[in-house]
Amino acid sequence: MFFQILKIVLWPSRQSPSSSPRVVELQKGIVNVISGASKTGKSAIIPIIDYCLGADRCAIPVETIRNSCSWFGVLIQTDMGQKLFARREPGVQKSTGEMFVVEGETVEIPKTTPTKNTSAEAMKTGVDDLGGLTRLDFDVHATGSGFKGRPSFRDMMAFTFQPQNIVANPDVLFFKADTYEHREKLKTIFPYVLNAVSSQVLADQHELENVRRELSRKERELDNLRDVSERWLSELRAWAVQARELGLVDMPIGPNANREELLGILQNAVVRPASQIPSSGGIADAMQELTQLQVEERQADTNLRMLHRRLSEMSKLKENAERFGDALRIQRDRLAISKWLRSLDDKVHICPICDNTLETQSTKLEELFATLTDLEVEVSRASTIPASFDREMLRVREEIKVCIEKLRGISMRKAEVEARSEEAKAIGFRARDISRFAGRVENGLKMHEALGAHGTLADEVEELKERERSLAKAISSGDIERRKRRALDKIASLAGRLLPHLDAERPNDPIELSVSDLTLKVKGPDREDYLWEIGSGANWLSYHVAISLGLQEFFIGFRNSPVPGFIVYDQPSQVYFPRKLAGARNRSEETDPQFQDEDIEAVRKVFETLANVVQAMTGKLQVLVLDHAGPNVWGNIPGVHLVEEWRGGAKLVPAEWL
């Protein structure tokens, strides 16, 4: 997406007739450099751009910048013209949704403080549409995961900013990927950004899930319809008999006619002329059908009575067995005193009752104890009912259910025949009754026909299955993985050819971008090393620069990429003078560190690489570098433009605003 920054704008918090906004002007399609000493506002540029492009919270430094500015803005050049995005300083809040947005072929920067004309959410929606981002989310299974939401323009910021804490970080490769929320969301959208999953594929994934839900529902409906019961067959037979009685069917209805035969008879019946005179044979058949139903009803009723009587007898037997067991247990408890008396009997045979000396043990006590023992055996036998008894009771209950269901079917058929017979006797065969019957049968057949192989519901199920196969083939996970692999290989190739021009220790070793870990792997002859396993800030910086440029080259290489065509690097030269920089900050905020010759050469390689890639992109890529390094380091490099140099009192915020 062509989306480059033309101006960064600050409006003062204290307005006066002579005050005007602070404007930092950038150029399209080149490397823009803002050079300056420490504490001049360079590191506030990325938070300002990010905040104006809809960040959820304001990360612009407080005190000097936030206190002296009332609004922040960026002027953007797109294929649709220029767009000014300005956002109010949030004060004590984390952020504010108040925004001022102006669009046009060219946009004039307001001299006075803007006033709200839209919201941050509306602005982000407009930019999402500008980038052509899909409205579908990645949560095709509706799990409710917050990390599978739809891709947004805000997600694309991961590829545009390399702030000071990221640009040479061995553990974090992308902007805000150091937080779990952004990290998981970035993993989710990466295949979409790589064009391995297109908007159409995402739409097909959602449609496939909907098709599978609909298919499952209709298959359950079809299975339920095919589960034909006695009632369904009884209804078909009753209709067929009535059709013959009304003269709509000539052939007799066999007692063993199956479902398909009955359906065929009824289908022929509904197309017969309604004015046809009923036959006497049809009436006779109806009477015969009624007689047969009465016989079947008596047989089923007799069986049901026998089963009820048998169940009643078995229930009484089980109840008597339980009562007998309870009586035996009562007797056992009464005789248990003999066990106690026997335990009191000692060796000298002292009677535990009268305390007299006994010459021999009491035979009566032993008889009581033996009786108790026999009774306990009987109790254990009486309290145990064989398992076969319960199984027999269960079988009898099941047979009762079957008989009841059969009686219901017979009753329905009998009622139908009796009703028709009474009607025939009372008012004869009337054409309107025939028409009413034919209509009722015709509507019923629509339901029954759905059970067939060529029924409406069966056809719908087959169509859904075919659509499911087609969609599954179109969104094959194997094809998606292959497209993703090709994209990653191309990015690795683009980044790999830049490494020999940077200050990397292993410039010729192949690299690989790992989406699952959101980092790089360097492939040596014997092993693969993750970025955090490779030492030296110079290496980390080189890989960050190479992969960020390689990604931008890849995005620009295919049409309609949603990633904006700019990158902002903050302090890429910091890895070459960290201790000198710390000392300079302690001495004076205006003091710059002194580079050694080898440091200048390494930093210059970075700027040359940036310039070469930007020039190769022929205006489609813009780079902004915020750094201490001045023109003495990167001067005379084609394609590198000095925007401003903040030294000697020059800063982002004018001194008169403080």
- How far CA 589 is from CA of 9, 578, 632, in Å, comes to 24, 15, 20
Mean of pLDDT values over 8-29? 91
Nearest to 541 by CA among 173, 157, 30: 173
The string of DSSP codes covering 469-536 is: HHHHHHT-HHHHHHHHHHHHHHHHHHHHTTGGGTT-S-TTS-EEEETTTTEEEEE-SS-EEEGGGS--
Output phi, psi for 4, to 5 deg: -125, 150
What Å distances lie between residue 23 and 8, 20, 72, CA to CA? 6, 9, 10
Q: What is the pLDDT of residue 391?
A: 76
pLDDT tens digits, 38-66: 899 999 999 999 999 999 999 999 888 99
Residue burial 121-158, b: 16+ Cβ < 10 Å; e: rest: eebbbbbbebbebbeeebbbeeeeeebbebbbbbbbbb
% of the chain residues with pLDDT over 90 = 43
Residue 626's pLDDT band (cuts 50, 70, 90)? very high
Q: Across-strand partners of 78?
A: 3, 81
Contacts of 480 (CB under 8 A, 6+ apart): 191, 196, 197, 201
Which residue type is seen at 568? Answer: V
The arrangement of strands across the sheet holding 528-530 comes to 511-514, 519-523, 528-530
292 vs 178, higher pLDDT: 178
Tokens (6 digits) for 484: 């993703």
Give 118's strand partners: 99
**526 against 443, higher pLDDT:** 526
Q: Which of 75-79, 90-94, 153-157, 540-544 has the lowest mean pLDDT?
A: 90-94
pLDDT digits (tens, 9 = 90+) for 409-426: 888 887 777 676 665 555
Sign of the alpha-carbon torsion through 324, 325, 326, 328: positive
Confidence grade of residue 97 (pLDDT, cut at 50, 70, 90): very high
**The two three-digit tokens of residue 163, written as one number:** 């702030």
Predicted local confidence at residue 334, as pLDDT: 65
User: Side chain identity at 67, as an amino acid letter?
Assistant: N
Q: Which amino acid is at 264?
A: G
SS3 620: coil
Torsion of CA 342, 346, 349, 354, to 10 degrees: -70
Mean per-residue pLDDT, 184-205: 89
What does the pLDDT read at residue 427?
45
Say if pTM beats, i.e. exceeds, 0.75. no
Higher pLDDT, 305 or 568: 568
Of 8-12, 569-573, 578-582, the poorest mean pLDDT is in 578-582
Query: Tokens representing 330?
Result: 């009562």
Secondary structure (3-state) at 5 = strand
CA separation for the pair 215, 541 (Å, rounded): 53
For residue 454, the model assigns a pLDDT of 47
Residue from 264, 262, 272, 277 nearest 232 by CA: 262
Q: What is the pLDDT of residue 293?
A: 78
d(CA 45, CA 468): 50
What H or E segment, with its residue span, contains residue 454?
A: none
pLDDT for position 452: 52
DSSP string of 93-148? Answer: SS---EEEEEEESS-PPPSSPP---EEHHHHHHHHHHHTT--S--S-TT----GGG
Residues 6+ apart with CB under 8 A from 327: none
Length of the chain: 658
All structural domains of the chain with their residue ranges: 203-227+457-474
Tell me what pLDDT residue 614 has: 97
Residue (of 587, 586, 574, 578) closest to 626 by Cα position: 574
Q: What is the pLDDT of residue 358?
A: 57
Q: Is 468 helix (H, G, I), strand (E, B) or coil?
A: helix
Q: Which helix (H) or strand (E) holds 152?
A: none
Token pair, residue 553, equals 């080259």
What is the Cβ-side half-sphere exposure of residue 528, based on CA atoms within 13 angstroms?
A: 9
Q: Kind of pairing, strands 161-162 and 118-119?
A: unpaired
Q: How far apart are the first and last CA of the chain?
A: 38
Q: What's the pLDDT band for 585 if we cut at 50, 70, 90? A: very low
pLDDT at 174: 97
- Taken in order 246, 249, 254, 255, the sign of the CA dihedral is negative
67 in helix, strand or coil? helix
pLDDT tens-place string over residues 520-546: 999 988 899 999 999 889 999 999 999
> Would you state the torsion angle of the CA atoms of residues 305, 306, 311, 314, taken in this order, to the nearest 10 degrees?
140
- Our separate counts of H helices and E strands in the chain read 17, 14
Return phi, psi of residue 412, to 5°.
-65, -45
Going by the DSSP 8-state scheme, the letter that residue 350 receives in this structure is B
Q: What is the Cα–Cα distance from 303 to 405, expressed in whole angstroms?
A: 13
pLDDT in tens, 262-315: 777 776 776 655 444 455 555 667 677 777 877 888 888 888 888 888 888 888
Query: How much is the pLDDT for 352?
Result: 62
Please return the burial class of 84, using the count of CB atoms within 10 Å of its CB with bins 0-12, 13-18 and 19+. Answer: buried
8 Å CB contact between 164 and 61 = no
467 and 211 Cβ atoms separated by less than 8 Å: yes
Strands 528-530 and 519-523: antiparallel
Cα-based distances in Å from 125 to 64, 132, 479, 607, 619:
32, 11, 31, 35, 27
Instruction: Tell me the C-alpha to C-alpha distance, in Å, between residue 236 and each of 231, 247, 274, 288.
Output: 9, 17, 20, 17
Q: Could you read off the pLDDT of 383-409 as tens digits, one per residue?
A: 556 667 777 877 888 888 888 888 888
* pLDDT value of position 342: 59
Under the banding of pLDDT at 50, 70 and 90, the label for residue 579 is very low
Task: Name residue 11's amino acid.
Answer: W
